[in-house]
């Protein structure tokens, strides 16, 4: 098979890394890819949101299966475009991708489906949102309605922080049209986890759970990022909790989508919080998570291509997903200043030494390759993943590999996986 992956981050490197191991994969392309992806796939200079050009490339190359990594092309309708041209693609149509493209849509749909979630109100007027926040008090959550690369959510401990979040979205327009509306939500307490499933509109095949770290600093301090690390499995997600998430949250959502004429196909990613009263939905994403994919796929024993193709062809019931027992920990190496302003073009050293351990995998996110050297080209630069029989072993291996890597102003959290180690 000839396979195309759309995207350029660590998630796409993890997808390409796993897909390249399949005997079904004869040729692998990635548009546009990054420095590290070039080791396992042919990188193609097409932007992820250039839908017409991507379709032309897939036709010209005779691509048998396309996998979409980032949310933006999904929300823009890349799957609709490919399917209209008779091309096989993995991912939801634009109407179904609203589960990530609009938090208001998701809250309203899941409320109709009876999914346990949180109290919320939607505003398209900044002053009305401010008045509501003052009445409700803090802590409270403010979200840009549209997609914002994981950075449009503010968990405000103080009213002033919530009011500032409204201004950033609706007045300063930090997130563009995604902030035309804001969703103000009830604050919920508990540990968060990510539970993703393959779904072909009817059949659901769950993946193993993971837990990520959104805040930039240790001890979950500082602003939200796209993710600073993660681990899998999640000790607090018992089999009972996992089954409840699937039966009470994911399945009712999938059934509601189908009943409303927008069947969901692709990866459905439920961000869940485990409260004292049980699991409750925080949000949905319509694609593989980043960096969660970097700990989930290394634990997959099954052939990923078979799962992706069966999903795209609506025959997911014919395949199964088998998972390894090992623990996985991923630590993100970021550019100093991220998620704010940061420098690029910094020389990255130590990658060969970091890869020397057979249980460490280096996933490139924001890198560029020039000759045999790699340079920084983004905020999140690398994801260092390691496997182990225990969380302690996996965590030690990951940080040992990180210790070999260096670039100017490199930053990483030092507490990734700590709570999992303590729970063992």
> Which tokens belong to 210?
């993971």
Cβ 424 vs Cβ 390: under 8 Å: yes
Confidence band of 358 (pLDDT split at 50, 70, 90)? low
pLDDT at 152: 81
* pTM given for the model: 0.94
pLDDT at position 424 is 86
Structure confidence by residue, pLDDT tens digits, 18-59: 999 999 999 999 999 999 999 999 999 999 999 999 999 999
Q: Is residue 250 part of a domain?
A: yes
Mean pLDDT of the chain: 95
- The two tokens of residue 397 are 């291996």
The answer to whether residue 199 sits within a structural domain is: yes
The whole domain housing 65 covers 2-93
Task: Please say whether the beta carbons of 412 and 334 come within 8 A.
Answer: yes
| 110 in any annotated domain | no
pLDDT of 192 strictly over 80: yes
Whether the per-residue pLDDT at 151 is higher than 80: the answer is no
DSSP 8-state class, residue 228: S
pLDDT digits (tens, 9 = 90+) for 83-118: 999 999 999 999 999 999 999 999 999 999 999 989
Question: Is 337 part of a structural domain of the chain?
Answer: yes
Answer whether residue 113 is part of any domain. Answer: no
**Residue 148: pLDDT over 90:** no
The answer to whether residues 305 and 332 belong to one domain is no
What φ, ψ does residue 283 adopt, rounded to 5°? -165, 165
171 and 215 within one domain: no
Tell whether the model's pLDDT for residue 224 goes beyond 90. no
pLDDT at 302: 98
Q: What is the pLDDT of residue 164?
A: 95
Whether the per-residue pLDDT at 356 is higher than 90: the answer is no
**Number of domains comprising the chain:** 4
pLDDT recorded at residue 214:
92
pLDDT at site 150:
62
Q: Is residue 412 part of a domain?
A: yes
- Mean pLDDT over residues 299-314, rounded? 98
Same domain, 358 and 332: yes
Do 337 and 366 reside in the same domain of the chain? yes
For residue 279, the cross-strand partners are 274
Work out the average pLDDT over 174-180: 91
* 334 and 300 inside one domain: no
Is 202 in the same domain as 301?
yes
- Give the pLDDT confidence of 326-348 residue by residue, as tens digits: 999 999 999 999 999 999 999 99
What pLDDT was estimated at residue 70? 95
- CA distances in angstroms from 29 to 47, 56, 103, 126, 304, listed in the order given: 13, 14, 32, 44, 16
- Tell whether 99 is covered by a domain: no
Cα separation, 350 vs 334, in Å, equals 15
Residues 241 and 276 placed together within one structural domain of the fold = yes
Contact 198, 247 (CB under 8 A): no
Residue 283 falls within a domain, yes or no? yes
355 and 238 together in one domain: no
Please state, for a pLDDT cut of 70, what percent of the chain lies above it: 99
Q: Which helix (H) or strand (E) holds 4?
A: strand 2-7
Instruction: Please state, in angstroms and rounded to a whole number, the distance separating the CA atoms of residues 222 and 41.
Output: 36
The CA-based dihedral angle spanning residues 285, 288, 289, 294, taken in that order and rounded to the nearest 10 degrees: 170
Q: Clarify whether residues 53 and 81 are in a common domain.
A: yes
> pLDDT, tens digit, for every residue of 276-299?
999 999 999 999 999 999 999 999
419 and 339 in one domain? Answer: yes
CATH of the domain at 261: 3.30.470.20
């Amino acid at each position: 098979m000839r396979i195309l992956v759309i995207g350029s981050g660590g998630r796409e490197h993890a997808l390409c890394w796993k897909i390249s191991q399949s005997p079904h994969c004869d040729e692998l392309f990635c548009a546009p890819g990054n420095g590290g992806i070039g080791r396992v796939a042919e990188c193609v200079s097409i932007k992820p949101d250039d839908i017409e050009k991507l379709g032309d490339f897939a036709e010209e190359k005779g691509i048998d299966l396309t996998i979409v990594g980032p949310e933006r092309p999904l929300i823009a309708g890349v799957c609709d475009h490919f399917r209209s041209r008779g091309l096989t693609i993995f991912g939801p149509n634009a109407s179904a991708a609203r589960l990530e493209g609009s938090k208001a849509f998701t809250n309203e749909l899941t409320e109709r489906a009876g999914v346990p979630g949180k109290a919320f109100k939607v505003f398209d007027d900044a002053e009305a949102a401010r008045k509501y926040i003052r009445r409700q008090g803090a802590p409270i959550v403010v979200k840009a309605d549209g997609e914002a690369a994981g950075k449009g959510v503010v968990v405000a401990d103080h009213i002033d922080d919530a009011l500032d979040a409204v201004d950033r979205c609706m007045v300063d327009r930090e997130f563009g049209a995604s902030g035309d509306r804001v969703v103000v939500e009830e604050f919920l307490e508990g540990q968060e986890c990510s539970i993703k499933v393959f779904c072909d509109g009817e059949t659901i095949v769950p993946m193993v759970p993971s837990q990520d770290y959104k805040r930039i600093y240790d001890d979950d301090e500082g602003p939200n990022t796209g993710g600073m690390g993660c681990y899998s499995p999640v000790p607090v997600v018992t089999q009972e909790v996992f089954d409840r998430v699937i039966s009470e949250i994911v399945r009712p959502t999938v059934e509601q989508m189908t009943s409303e004429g927008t069947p969901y196909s692709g990866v459905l990613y439920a961000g869940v919080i485990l409260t004292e009263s049980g699991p409750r939905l925080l949000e949905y994403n319509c694609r593989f998570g980043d960096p969660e994919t970097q700990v989930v796929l290394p634990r997959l024993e099954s052939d990923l291509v078979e799962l992706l193709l069966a999903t795209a062809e609506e025959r997911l019931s014919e395949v199964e997903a088998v998972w390894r027992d090992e623990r996985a920990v991923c630590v993100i190496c970021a550019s100093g200043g991220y998620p704010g302003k940061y420098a690029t073009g910094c020389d990255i050293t130590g990658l060969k030494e970091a890869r020397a351990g057979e249980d460490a995998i280096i996933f490139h996110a924001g890198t560029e390759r020039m000759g045999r050297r790699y340079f920084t080209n983004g905020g999140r630069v690398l994801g260092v993943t390691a496997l182990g029989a225990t969380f302690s072993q996996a965590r030690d291996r990951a940080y040992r590999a990180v210790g070999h890597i260096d670039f100017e102003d490199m930053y990483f959290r030092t507490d990734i996986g700590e709570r999992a180690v303590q729970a063992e």
